[in-house]
Chain A
Amino acid sequence: MFDKLRLTNIFNLLAIILVIAFFGFYNIFEETKKVIIDTNQKSHLDYIDNVTSNIGNAIKQTTDNNIYENLKKDKALRKNLEYLLYFFITDRYRYIYVLNKEENGSNEFQFLLDGTEDIDEKSEFEERFTPLDINKWNNAYKNQKSLYFKQEGNLDEIWMTYLKPVVVNGKTEALIVVDFSLKEHNQIIVSLQKFESFFEIAITLTLIILFFILLVSFIDAKRAKVNEKLYEELKMKTQEISEFNLTLAQKVDDEVEKNREKDKQMFQQNRLAQMGEMIGMIAHQWRQPLAAISSTSSAINLKAKLNKLDNVKVIELTNKINEYSKHLSETIDDFRKFFKDEKEQSETTYNEILKNVLSIIEISIRNNMIEIVEDYNCDDKFLTYPNEIMQVLLNLIKNAEDILIEKKVEDPYIKISTYVKEDNLILEIEDNGGGVPEDIIDKVFIPYFSTKLKKDGTGLGLYMSKTIIEDHCLGSLSVCNRNDGALFTISLPKTEDSLSI
């Protein structure tokens, strides 16, 4: 549940709670405000009502219910009662006075008592008085009901008038008037109104904020929906790509496997071709010992027929036959060794490898009147696959021999050089067969590319040689033309890295 709860939702919820809380507070405040104002006003009026009731009772008691007549007669009584009125006058209760109406139906009131002390402000007994809102006064007088209202014509608008009729035997004898201030009451109202304004502004602002939050949330939700859709699409595409990658990887693996298989086949093809060539070479090598064995056995046969065969001669001649047989056996060993699969590297030198190669091929080369020039300047040992290097060298020397024979070069030679250059062990095979034409020199290592006639070449020799030197032995094989022939250069690393392979 919680993982689906987003931050915007929390904000929305908080904003709504805030608005509801503000509305709640506002309503509570409105109620409280009403109660405060009503209570304050009521207590105020209750107090005035009590004061005026007491004053009215005092007037009635002291005048024996004959208010006007006794006050008219008794100046001292007026003074005493005016002192009583004065007693209640404060900043809040500015004027307290008692009026009555003449029985002649006049619209004016006349003063009976005035609690004011100020001589200029004090009204005389029987002084005529016409309030602006006289109808209200008449109502209070006539209806014998207390009344309060805001003074008309009063400019500071904080003065109220409270009218309390003094009723004797069902007849209104006087009207007690209290002019009281609403200043404090108004201050409370103003303060409450400020609070109310604050609440109204706060609610308005909160509503605006809520509106914006909801708007932003709406936009956000819409965006989230789009994002979700995009995310789904992305997920789908990613899955498709993953699946495609898996297929692709499988395809690549398949292709690599195919290539490997192809290379294997090429190797096999190349080895078979080399085997054919070597069989030719062995045939060359075997011809002489076989002829020697044949002539020796003929010599034994002839001497036996002539009875000239003694033991010493037999031993001498059979020893020769044994030597020739041993030579043949060694040739077979070399051949077998050459085609033996090597799984692990072994330590060797260029000299060792070249010795083995030349033991196979030298006779054939020399029979073709080709000079072999050996210039060995590298005795360093290194780890490699010697048989594979031998295959390469056999291939390169055989190619040189072929071209020299094919072009019937005068004074043909094959020069084999070894030396150390920086961190590399270099072996060069150079001939004077005219070199590789420049337009095909970049293509000689491409599989199935051959300049030989189809029956003589597979087009795999140089490709396989490059693969062996560069992929298996981590070296390099390159070709260039030098002097009047081709120069093939094998470079193998002599560093520890290469040794550790």
Chain B
Amino acid sequence: MKYLIIFFISLSILFANDNYELKLYEKIIPSIFKHKVYVYVDKKSEELLKNSDKFLIVDNCNNADILIGKYFDNLEDSCKNKPYFSTSYKSYKNNKNSFGAFYWRKGRPQIKFREEIIKKQNLTLPDSFSKYIR
């Protein structure tokens, strides 16, 4: 019984976090592109974004407006300059082309943006996110 309760609590937290994340993505990404966003995503992000009507997941990164995910194996060269939004600290740190990131640290959401990449890729962030730009 105790484990069952813990299981349901964990499940609800997981879904609640997902919801929080999705809302965050829906707030940031469409405000940058001003239209329905074609996204190329990794497995984990696909699970999250496929339920949103603001994103259209594409199979080919060339057709995508943005890449969202942790790691992309065998990414085509033509896609490497596409705007990339990281979903982990490490991928954000290691991929210097990533213009921003959203990840959880010590149970707290972390939002990061790189000013020079945003500028380089001519992206415009909503004012409410400017405090996260470094």
Report the Cα distance A108→B110, complex, angstroms. Answer: 11
- B110, A130: Cβ atoms closer than 8 Å: yes
A155–B13 CB distance below 8 A: yes
Tell me the nearest residue of chain B to A133, going by C-beta. Answer: B108
Check A123/B106 contact, CB under 8 A, given A128-B134, A156-B13.
yes
What are 9 sample pairs from A and B whose C-beta atoms fall under 8 A apart? A94-B107, A121-B106, A128-B112, A128-B134, A129-B106, A130-B108, A131-B108, A153-B108, A153-B109
| Chain A: CB-nearest residue to B19 | A155
Q: Which of A108, A124, A151 contacts B108, CB < 8 Å?
A: A151
B32 close to chain A: CB less than 8 A? no
- Nearest-neighbor residue (CB-CB) of B10 within chain A: A156
Count of residues in B whose CB is under 8 Å from the partner chain: 19
Question: Total number of A-B contacts with CB less than 8 angstroms?
Answer: 46
In the complex, residue of chain B having the shortest beta-carbon distance to the beta carbon of A152: B108
**Bound complex: CA A388 to CA B132 (Å):** 145
Per-position binary interface string of chain A over residues 112-128, scored 1 when its CB falls under 8 Å from any chain B CB and 0 otherwise = 00001000010110011
Give complex CA distance A159, B109 in Å: 15
**When chains A and B are docked, how far (Å) is the Cα of A130 from the Cα of B102?**
12
User: B1-23 interface mask toward A, CB cutoff 8 Å, 1 = contact, 0 = none?
Assistant: 00000000100110011001000
Q: Any chain A CB within 8 A of the CB of B34?
A: no
* Given A95-B106, A129-B105, A155 contacting B16 (CB threshold 8 A): yes
Q: How far is the CB of B46 from chain A (nearest CB, A)?
A: 19
Shortest CB-to-CB span from A108 to chain B, Å, is: 8
Contact with A along B94-125 (1 / 0, CB 8 A): 00000000000111111110000000000000
Q: Which A residues between 307 and 336 are near B, CB-CB below 8 angstroms?
A: none
Sample of 19 more A-B contacts, CB < 8 Å, known A94-B107, A127-B105, A154-B107:
A95-B106, A116-B106, A121-B106, A123-B89, A124-B89, A128-B134, A129-B108, A129-B110, A130-B108, A130-B110, A130-B132, A132-B108, A153-B20, A153-B108, A155-B13, A155-B17, A155-B20, A156-B9, A179-B106
| A155 cross-chain contacts in B, Cβ below 8 A | 12-13, 16-17, 20
User: Across the interface, do A95 and B107 meet the contact criterion of CB distance under 8 Å?
Assistant: yes
- For the complex formed, measure the closest distance between the CB of A147 and the CB atoms of chain B, giving whole angstroms: 16
Chain A CB within 10 A, most for which of B9, B89, B105, B131: B105
Report the bound CA distance from A177 to B109 in whole Å.
Answer: 16
Taking the closest CB of chain B, its distance from the CB of A187, in whole angstroms, is 12
Cβ < 8 Å to B, chain A residues 152-173 = 153-156, 159
Is A338 engaged at the interface, CB distance under 8 Å to the other chain?
Answer: no
Please determine whether A97 and B134 come into contact, CB atoms closer than 8 angstroms: no
- Determine the chain A residues whose CB is within 8 A of the CB of B112 once the complex forms: 128
The chain B residue with its CB closest to the CB of A129 is B105
How far apart sit A129 and B106, CA to CA, in the bound complex (Å)? 9
Closest chain B residue to A114, Cβ basis: B106
Q: How far is the CA of A129 from the CA of B107 in the complex (A)?
A: 12
Across the two chains, which residue of chain B brings its CB closest to A123? B105
Q: Nearest B residue to A106 by beta-carbon distance?
A: B134
Within the assembled complex, what's the spacing in Å between the Cα atoms of A343 and B89?
142
Q: Which residues does chain A contribute within 8 Å of B107, judged by CB atoms?
A: 94-95, 151, 154, 159, 179
Q: A127-B89, A130-B132 are in contact. Are A97 and B106 (CB under 8 A)?
A: yes
